[in-house]
Structure 1
Amino acid sequence: MDTALLWLIAAWVGYFTMHSLLASLAVKNRVARRWPQLMPWYRLFFNAMAILLLAAPLYLAWAIGGEIIIAWKGIWWWVGNGLALAALGGFVYSLRHYDGAEFLGLRQLRDGEQRVEDQERFRISPLHQQVRHPWYFLALVLIWTRDMTAAMLVSSVMMTLYFVLGSWLEERKLLAYYGDAYREYRQLVPGLLPRPWKRLNREQAQTLERRGNASVLHRN
């Protein structure tokens, strides 16, 4: 393999490692014990680092460049770009079901929140009724509907692997937060790729939401 592509792989591994460490309960618990006054800033810091650290692998992928080795042509150009537009629409639609202030870290800073756990309630949005990680799924659609150079293909494979690993790590925390309700949710809804025959209706989603949020209240 070309040396530049090996450096690109190393850059992605470094990014994923740092991102996972900063997102882990172990690191957040350590910060909370040693520097509790920093916890209200932690989510903002995490988001800033996620963006800044992403610059290195993205720049390498752009700098390596190269010829297109996989291209969407003819009718498939329309299919690929149609799917990409649908994925972007899915992202926009999903925003109404997230607590933006919580996600960005603004609410934690405003409230002086020092607890390690995320404070957002357990919500199963319409997209979450289809797939447990809708943002990862939508990102995969965007990634794999682009024309590919060798560097972009390597980056796409690395990101896909990380979505698989990252979803597993994220779900360990969600199981700790929401207990049996999330465990049942995992059994009923696929993780990254929707399956029309395996989904929740709204009544089932509301029942699991109540159970998950009750377990949070009991733990607190």
Structure 2
Amino acid sequence: MKLSSFQILALVLCWLTYAGLHSLLAALGFKRRLLARWPALAPSYRLAYNLLAVILLLPPLWLTLAWGGPLLWSWQGPWAWVAYGLALAAAGGFLWSTRYYDMAAFSGSAQWRAGHRGAEDPGGLRLSPLHRYVRHPWYSLGLVILWTRDMDEARLVSTLCISLYLWFGSLLEERKLLACHGEAYARYRQRVPGLIPLPGRALSAEEARTLERLGRR
């Protein structure tokens, strides 16, 4: 059944609420003000942030599934193999790339165990092999997975909302990365595109290591 205007608006507002809260809680300025007032929250902040991010995803995802109707398009024949192959490669790339991340710091468990008190997450600038081609590889892989799915109206609305937030969220994240890593990240941003790989805009392995060393100073 075709989505009503009310359903489309409700779904968009649900994603906007998620994006707004997610961005606010990730902002360095907000974290610094909050932790200056309640410093005891610092060690568990990242863990709580990740948990809340998962909980806040549930309402828009539930609406997307509950309101799914007839397909607008589905991949058929050779195109289905291409779409599913790209999605599988993106999922594999995501899992492979985790070996280059400090997943304990990403999840917040490292900060909790160490009693970390800063608003900034610990660690210097780290550039995985995928970071040599795009600045936000997980976002790029997520976009591949999103747009290689069969699509009904509710999924299309959600996919558009998520895609816009991944783009806008990457801009907000870069403000934080510039504040944390300064000149090293500014140089990196000049050389490497944000979400879509471009010819001639990639780092060599040695260039990536040089920027990582600069980011640790």
TM range, smaller chain? over 0.9
Contact 1:71 1:147 in 2 (8 A): yes
For 1:218, the equivalent position in structure 2 comes to none
Of residues 47-56 and 196-205 in structure 1, the stretch that sits farther from structure 2 once superposed is 196-205
For 2:146, the equivalent position in structure 1 comes to 143
Contact 2:124 2:181 in 1 (8 A): no
Q: Deviation of residue 212 (structure 1)?
A: 1.2
- Please identify runs of 4+ aligned residues in structure 1 that moved more than 2 A: none
1:27 maps onto 2:30 in alignment: yes
Q: 2:126 aligns with which of 111, 114, 123?
A: 123
Q: How does 1:63-212 map to 2 (within 5 A)?
A: 63-212=66-215
d(CA) in 2 for partners of 1:67, 1:196: 39
Between the two proteins, the alignment pairs up a number of residues equal to 214
TM-score, reference length from structure 2: 0.97
Q: Deviation of residue 194 (structure 1)?
A: 1.2
Q: Deviation of residue 197 (structure 1)?
A: 2.4
For 2:49, the equivalent position in structure 1 comes to 46
d(CA) in 1 for partners of 2:54, 2:88: 23
Q: 2:216 aligns with which of 208, 213, 218?
A: 213
Percent identity over paired residues: 52
Deviations 1:55-93 (A, max 9, x none): 010001011110000211111100000000000110111
For 2:12, the equivalent position in structure 1 comes to 9
Deviations 1:162-215 (A, max 9, x none): 01110000000100111111111011111001124210001100111111111x
Contact 2:43 2:115 in 1 (8 A): yes
Counterpart of 2:182, as a letter, is G
Deviations 1:14-53 (A, max 9, x none): 0000000000112211121111011101000000000000
Contact 2:140 2:195 in 1 (8 A): yes
* Structure 1 runs not aligned, ≥5 long: 215-220
* Structure 2 runs not aligned, ≥5 long: none
* Secondary structure of 2:82's aligned partner: helix
Deviations 1:111-158 (A, max 9, x none): 111101111221111010011000000000000000000010011110
d(CA) in 1 for partners of 2:69, 2:43: 44
TM-score, reference length from structure 1: 0.95
For 1:18, the equivalent position in structure 2 comes to 21
Contact 1:31 1:39 in 2 (8 A): no
d(CA) in 2 for partners of 1:159, 1:186: 23
d(CA) in 2 for partners of 1:206, 1:37: 36
- Considering only aligned residues, what root-mean-square deviation do their CA atoms show, in Å? 0.9
